[in-house]
Chain A
């Protein structure tokens, strides 16, 4: 059996935008997979065995002996191991740019984005300001294109998926508007195109369930934010 035909399992957790990145990649390549949902408060043997270093989702299991961890690493693996439309572009410089901006989303945008919802007062304002500044930088990268990847969905679109879906969800769940109605028009347009895309629609989490999830777990995430601030 060629390695491409070997069964694929994705260990995920409901609500995780990181795992969602992998689902979109798999859907883009047309790779069937079994979704295994974790309860992160009660991690399974399967997860701990295959991601002993981070004990986090997502983890891709491919066949019997391949476990890949960390969402960006998994997306690149899916791109290289399976046939189908390219996720990373062909040109070396464009690839470097896609990777650079994906890391920007992860390292510069992610933290203030989430923290702006889970903190309060001045601290919240600080994170919100940083998130908005970085959203502006990201918006500039769209530069009139349909997707970050051009005419088709690419690596950076996958990396930024949280913005297309989780932003509205979080705003509703926490009653805090990070982004005003008229703001970041290019990103809003992109989010619409993104969520209308076939591959993305296939694995789109149920919006109401997502909102309910974040409402229910609000205190838990606020606690995580407080602990992170103390470090």
Chain B
């Protein structure tokens, strides 16, 4: 079955529409995730050796991938390490199936997708119906919150995006860590990652509310973005030179910013110029480019939500 490719999605990759391992209900572009050829190899179950051999054959025929540029994308990095025994060890570490219960536009789900991609961990993506009836699997896995993302690891659910990120670092020790090694640096990362939740919480109030409540939300948004800008400073990423925990936590909110800018009547480039530059920098990473949807799609989603909630 052929699937249409929404304009503007994954602009950098030569997207090939490929059936997902766990095919969601195909009604329109919103329930599809398009994968390109790199992803077929990256996300296929690593512990089946024909796939590893196939991937090696593919890679050896693509010289440009084998000598990645200095600022290597996560895919190129994964690719160059596949010739080592490390990946086989890592394949063994994928103790059982990993399934991510998720919703295409969810920034919290995207945190997990980006983290899994950065760490080169294979998983099955499972799109969940959230606006209609929730699936049995979701309700069983997260009876407390009934929310995505949920990461099922050998059937055991891990819930809450930042808990999942911490879990990935704890459970997949031979994959590149998201958190730094030093306890104080880790504390800083945890603080700012949790703080980044505020962007979404306040942003939601910006498009939902009016009057004084809206003004209050705008004031808080400017303060939060300012604080994030100050914390980032002149560094390339929040922890320094390497893309890590805080970057993964915050970047999924970036496609929401243009909508927030419009509803809040402010400009990210003015309020938090360093964050704006950082967002562009992150967008060049394969893991980020493949996981995030363009701002226009996010804005359409917000407009749809407003209709659902009966908001003018």
Contact = CB atoms under 8 A, between A and B. Distances in A.
B166 A95 contact: yes
Nearest to B181: A80
B156 A80 contact: no
Interface in B45-73: none
A174 to B, nearest CB: 28
B199 to A, nearest CB: 14
Given A73-B187, A104-B144, A92 B160 contact: no
Interface string A61-83: 01000101110111011001100
A53 B227 contact: yes
A77 B194 CA distance: 15
Interface residues of A, number: 24
A96 B166 contact: yes
Interface in B152-168: 153, 156, 158-160, 163-164, 166-167
A69 B156 CA distance: 31
A231 B184 CA distance: 35
B160 A103 contact: yes
Contacts of B166: 95-96, 99
A105 B250 CA distance: 24
A121 B166 CA distance: 42
Contact of A81 (B184, B191, B194, B195): B184
Given A74-B187, A93-B167, A95-B170, A100 B194 contact: no
B203 to A, nearest CB: 15
B27 to A, nearest CB: 32
A73 B194 contact: yes
Given A73-B191, A93-B158, A68 B167 contact: no
A100 B159 contact: yes
Contacts of A93: 153, 156, 158, 167, 171
A35 interface: no
A108 B166 CA distance: 21
A137 interface: yes
A154 B141 CA distance: 24
A62 B188 CA distance: 13
B183 A70 contact: no
Contact of B183 (A69, A77, A231): A77
B83 interface: no
Interface in B113-146: 144
Nearest to A74: B187
Nearest to B151: A96
Contacts of A77: 183-184, 186-187
Interface of A: 53, 62, 66, 68-70, 72-74, 76-77, 80-81, 92-93, 95-96, 99-100, 103-104, 108, 137, 231
Interface of B: 144, 153, 156, 158-160, 163-164, 166-167, 170-171, 183-184, 186-187, 190-191, 194-195, 213, 216, 227
8 tightest A-B contacts by CB?
A92-B170, A80-B183, A92-B171, A77-B187, A81-B183, A96-B167, A96-B158, A99-B163
7 contacts: A69-B191, A70-B191, A70-B194, A73-B187, A96-B163, A96-B166, A100-B160
